[in-house]
């Protein structure tokens, strides 16, 4: 079963083609990774899928429904939730409240429920509280529930963002460089958590620079370079693909003079 | 900030009690005004009316972190509708007040829909224009508002045969209204609706990515804020018995902003504390005569340096609560 399908997705910024006629499928099962050198158009691709940018051409379907160019909140409500390369937490809120915000889509209490607190709203609030604490435990943040989010160390902030996104109950989660800035140990823990998410039935699509994470975590890899898809397959297939090796390590031609595989995580 | 496991109960108690201090302060001030009466009662009454307005302003500016320099427009709509309907058309205060609030919310919806597409400084300029336009209307529409002359003979607030005419009666009425407003703000704070506003305040992109309709929540906060402003405007004309364009002019914008920042933007108790302090400070310095404004200004600066998130934030465990 296909969860997400991209057909000829293209995005131009003036004369620059950031994403050029990219097509691939994300199956419901497992973890799919998009890799590519810096500036290959990966984050633009995520922005197109999650509705933060409209594509110039092409079609994006999620579970068979056309979501091309729909607003981000609507796409999220449909079950496709993303995280950001630079963590965007609600810094003034506590760790717990961040995850509670993530539960927004699972509730329906409005202004009058807030003021009058009918029984239905109290039940909903209890469910939100229970679900949020469960997710904090899953992300290893249970002991920090009442801390302000801004007080967490960076690695924990990334975990919190992941827990918050999962609180929305997505059927597909887009992770934009989730391992950026994490140390080896944190990155290994993240890899286990991503596998758990996939095993629990949420499809995962991630962009990553950390090759160890990709090779250990992903079931399928899509490689992009200069906005184009250049390869697709299992981690092992992709690693052996001459086009991928050329893109990452260079072929001696000046046009392929790109950064190496083990580069700094931020780009 | 140290990373410690969740606060245990023996530590939590004093934190809770400290959180009550702003409310205790407000109760003492209102109680004092009730006992002394006269001028003190008038000053505190005005402060409580401002507290209603600032509580609404705080929903939009504190909870949702937007900017509006034009909420005085909605106070003017509430105030003038109450004044015209009760003084010129013989309406009872309550229906006139409700109609005023409804009208203000309606105007806020019509104006807010396009204006809230603006952000930051542009939103500030756009909303400032709303206030200025409303001011001009109250000046120029003489057949209804009587221009600079203003409208006098507005009856005191009352329900049926019961009229609130005494200083103490007004203080009690206003305290109840302020308490209800603060209660509403506290409930909103700790709800799905309030969390969505905090999300909009924290990061619009992250909020959108979690399925929060950012534009809708901004508009709702704006409408709520307008409702509180109209309520304050209506209360004002009934307490004073007179209204003129100057009441809801630019001065009101400046004073209420000061109250919001001195009291603590984004907190529940901040608007009330700010409204009381900013109203009382100039009175405290009356003995300074010519230097009164100077002393007032100096104290404001000191307050904002040592309590940059407002006085109420000093009493909350986190910067905002």
pLDDT at B231: 97
Kindly state the tokens that stand for A93: 């809120």
| Whether A130 contacts chain B with CB within 8 A | no
Contact between chains at A101 and B212 (C-beta distance less than 8 A): yes
pLDDT at B9: 42
Q: Which among B188, B202, B214 has CB closest to A114?
A: B188
| Whether B318 contacts chain A with CB within 8 A | yes
* 3-state DSSP assignment of residue A220: strand
Closest CA to B271 of B62, B101, B42: B62
Mean pLDDT (whole number) for B76-87: 94
Portion of chain B with pLDDT greater than 90, in percent: 63
Model confidence at B147, pLDDT cuts 50, 70, 90, reads confident
| Whether A90 contacts chain B with CB within 8 A | yes
Sign of CA dihedral B229, B234, B240, B242: positive
pLDDT at B15: 56
Alpha-carbon distance of B134 to B128, in angstroms, equals 10
- Cα end-to-end distance, chain B, whole Å: 16
Mean pLDDT (whole number) for A240-266: 60
Portion of chain A with pLDDT greater than 70, in percent: 93
Mean pLDDT (whole number) for A206-228: 89
Helices A95-102 + B192-202 axis angle, to 10: 100
Instruction: Give the number of other Cβ atoms within 10 Å of residue B65's Cβ.
Output: 18
Helix (H) or strand (E) holding A213: helix A211-217
Residue B143 confidence (pLDDT) above 70: yes
Residue B36 and residue B167 in contact, taking contact as beta carbons nearer than 8 Å: no
* CA–CA–CA angle A115, A117, A119 (5° rounding): 160
Helices B93-115 + B214-240 axis angle, to 10: 150
Tens of pLDDT, residue by residue over B192-220, are 999 999 999 999 999 999 999 999 999 99
Mean pLDDT (whole number) for B150-179: 88
Determine which of A80-94, B59-73, B124-138, B149-163 has the lowest per-residue pLDDT on average: B149-163
Model confidence at B315, pLDDT cuts 50, 70, 90, reads confident
pLDDT at B314: 82
Q: Which among B1, B187, B266 has CB closest to A148?
A: B1
Instruction: Give the number of other Cβ atoms within 10 Å of residue B118's Cβ.
Output: 15
* 3-state DSSP assignment of residue B243: strand
Residue B310 confidence (pLDDT) above 80: yes
ipTM: 0.86
Helices (H) and strands (E) counted in chain A, each on its own, are: 10, 10
Q: B10 pairs with which residues across the strands?
A: none
Looking at the complex, report in whole angstroms how far the Cα of residue A151 sits from the nearest Cα belonging to chain B: 6
* DSSP3 helix / strand / coil % (chain A, rounded to 5): 40, 25, 35
- Concatenated DSSP letters for B38-87? HHHHHHHHHHHHHHHHHHHHHIIIIIS----S-THHHHHHHHHHHHIIII
Looking at the complex, report in whole angstroms how far the Cα of residue B213 sits from the nearest Cα belonging to chain A: 6
pLDDT at B90: 86
| Whether A92 contacts chain B with CB within 8 A | yes
Q: Which among A90, A111, A144 has CB closest to B198?
A: A90
- Dihedrals φ, ψ of B296, to 5°? -60, -50
Q: Which residues in chain A touch residue B3, judged by CB atoms under 8 angstroms apart?
A: 144, 147, 151-153
| Whether A169 contacts chain B with CB within 8 A | no
Determine which of A91-100, A151-160, B44-53, B309-318 has the lowest per-residue pLDDT on average: B309-318
Residue B228 confidence (pLDDT) above 90: yes
Residue B180 confidence (pLDDT) above 70: yes
pLDDT at B319: 43
- Cα end-to-end distance, chain A, whole Å: 33
pLDDT at B183: 96
Helices B38-58 + B9-36 axis angle, to 10: 140
A203 Rama sector, left if φ>0, alpha if ψ -120 to 50, beta otherwise = beta
Q: Which residues in chain B touch residue A84, judged by CB atoms under 8 angstroms apart?
A: 205-206, 209
Helix (H) or strand (E) holding A164: helix A154-167
Closest CA to B112 of B52, B67, B160: B67
Tens of pLDDT, residue by residue over B271-304, are 999 999 999 988 888 888 888 888 888 888 888 8
Residue B84 to residues A125, A185, A230, B130, Cα–Cα distance (Å): 44, 71, 73, 21
Q: Which residues in chain B touch residue A91, judged by CB atoms under 8 angstroms apart?
A: 202
- Dihedrals φ, ψ of B238, to 5°? -75, -35
- Dihedrals φ, ψ of B83, to 5°? -65, -50
Mean pLDDT (whole number) for A211-218: 87
Helix (H) or strand (E) holding A237: helix A235-240
Determine which of A106-115, A257-266, B114-123, B177-186 has the lowest per-residue pLDDT on average: A257-266
Residue B48 confidence (pLDDT) above 50: yes
pLDDT at A216: 87
Alpha-carbon distance of B259 to B274, in angstroms, equals 4
Alpha-carbon distance of A21 to A132, in angstroms, equals 40
The residues, any chain, with a CB within 8 Å of residue B234's CB and separated by 6 or more, are B78, B79, B81, B82, B93, B96, B97, B100, B101
Mean pLDDT value across chain A? 89
Tens of pLDDT, residue by residue over A170-207, are 999 999 999 988 899 999 999 999 999 999 999 999 99
* 3-state DSSP assignment of residue A178: coil
Alpha-carbon distance of B209 to B178, in angstroms, equals 36
Residue B51 confidence (pLDDT) above 90: yes
The residues, any chain, with a CB within 8 Å of residue B75's CB and separated by 6 or more, are B53, B229, B230, B232, B233, B236, B248, B252
pLDDT at B71: 94
* CA–CA–CA angle B186, B188, B194 (5° rounding): 125
Q: Which among B5, B202, B212 has CB closest to A143?
A: B5
pLDDT at B317: 56
Contact between chains at A52 and B205 (C-beta distance less than 8 A): yes
Specify the pairing of strand A80-82 against strand A172-176. Answer: parallel
Tens of pLDDT, residue by residue over A102-134, are 999 988 888 988 998 999 999 999 999 999 999
Residue A158 confidence (pLDDT) above 60: yes
Residue A70 to residues A7, B94, B192, Cα–Cα distance (Å): 16, 45, 24
Residue A204 to residues A168, A187, A189, A211, B221, Cα–Cα distance (Å): 14, 16, 16, 16, 35
Model confidence at B13, pLDDT cuts 50, 70, 90, reads low
Q: Which among B1, B6, B199 has CB closest to A90?
A: B199
Mean pLDDT (whole number) for A78-104: 93
Tens of pLDDT, residue by residue over B237-255, are 999 999 999 999 999 999 9
Q: Which residues in chain A touch residue B199, judged by CB atoms under 8 angstroms apart?
A: 90, 101, 104
Looking at the complex, report in whole angstroms how far the Cα of residue B179 sits from the nearest Cα belonging to chain A: 14
pLDDT at B14: 55
Alpha-carbon distance of A34 to A23, in angstroms, equals 12
How crowded is the C-beta side of A64, counted as CA atoms within 13 Å? 1
Alpha-carbon distance of A44 to A58, in angstroms, equals 14
Looking at the complex, report in whole angstroms how far the Cα of residue B170 sits from the nearest Cα belonging to chain A: 25
């Amino acid at each position: 079963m296909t969860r997400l399908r991209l057909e000829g997705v293209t995005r131009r910024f003036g004369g620059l083609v950031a994403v050029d006629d990219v097509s691939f499928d994300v199956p419901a099962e497992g973890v799919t990774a998009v890799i590519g050198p810096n500036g290959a158009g990966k984050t633009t691709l995520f922005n197109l899928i999650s509705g933060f940018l409209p594509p110039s051409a092409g079609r994006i379907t999620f579970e068979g429904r056309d979501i091309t160019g729909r607003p981000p909140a609507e796409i999220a409500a449909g079950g496709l939730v993303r995280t950001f390369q630079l963590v965007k937490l609600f810094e003034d809120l506590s760790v717990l409240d961040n995850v509670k915000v993530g539960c927004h889509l699972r509730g329906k209490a409005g202004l009058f429920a807030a003021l009058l607190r009918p029984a239905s709203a109290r039940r909903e609030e209890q469910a939100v509280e229970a679900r949020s604490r469960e997710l904090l435990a899953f992300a290893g943040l249970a002991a920090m529930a009442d801390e302000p989010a801004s007080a967490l160390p960076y690695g924990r902030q990334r975990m919190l963002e992941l827990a918050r996104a999962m609180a929305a109950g997505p059927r597909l989660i887009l992770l934009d460089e989730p391992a950026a800035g994490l140390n080896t140990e944190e990155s290994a823990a993240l890899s286990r958590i991503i596998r758990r998410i996939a095993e629990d039935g949420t499809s995962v699509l991630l962009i990553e620079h950390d090759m160890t994470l990709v090779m250990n975590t992903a079931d399928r890899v899509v490689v992009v370079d200069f906005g184009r898809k250049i390869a697709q397959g299992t981690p092992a297939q992709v690693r052996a693909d001459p086009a991928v090796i050329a893109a990452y390590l260079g072929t001696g031609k000046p046009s392929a003079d790109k950064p190496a595989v083990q580069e700094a995580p931020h780009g | 900030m140290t990373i410690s496991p969740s606060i245990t109960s023996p530590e939590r108690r004093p934190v809770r009690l400290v959180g009550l201090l702003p409310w205790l302060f407000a109760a003492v001030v209102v109680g004092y005004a009730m006992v002394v009466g006269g001028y003190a009662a008038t000053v505190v009454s005005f402060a409580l009316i401002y507290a209603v307005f600032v509580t609404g302003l705080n929903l939009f500016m504190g909870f949702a972190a937007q900017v509006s320099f034009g909420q005085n427009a909605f106070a003017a709509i509430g105030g003038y509708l109450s004044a015209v309907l009760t003084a010129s058309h013989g309406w009872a205060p309550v229906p006139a007040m409700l109609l005023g609030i409804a009208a203000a919310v309606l105007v806020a919806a019509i104006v807010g829909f396009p204006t809230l597409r603006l952000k930051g400084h542009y939103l500030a300029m756009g909303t400032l224009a709303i206030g200025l336009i409303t001011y001009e209307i109250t000046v120029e529409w003489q057949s209804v508002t009587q221009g600079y002359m203003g409208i006098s003979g507005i009856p005191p607030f009352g329900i049926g045969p019961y009229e609130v005419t005494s200083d103490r009666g007004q203080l009690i009425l206003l305290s109840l209204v302020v308490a209800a407003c603060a209660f509403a703000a506290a409930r909103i704070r700790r709800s799905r609706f309030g969390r969505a506003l905090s999300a909009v305040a924290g990061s619009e992109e992250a909020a959108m990515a979690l399925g929060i309709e950012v534009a809708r929540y901004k508009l709702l906060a704006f409408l709520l804020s307008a409702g509180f402003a109209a309520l304050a405007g209506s209360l004002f004309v009934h307490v004073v018995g007179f209204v003129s364009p100057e009441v809801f002019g630019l001065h009101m914008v400046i004073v209420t902003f000061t109250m919001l920042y001195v009291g603590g933007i984004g907190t529940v108790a901040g608007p009330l504390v700010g409204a009381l302090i900013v109203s009382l400070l100039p009175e405290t310095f009356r003995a300074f005569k010519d230097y009164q404004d100077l002393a007032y200004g100096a104290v404001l600066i000191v307050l904002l340096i040592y309590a940059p998130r407002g006085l109420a934030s000093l009493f909350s465990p986190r910067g905002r609560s």
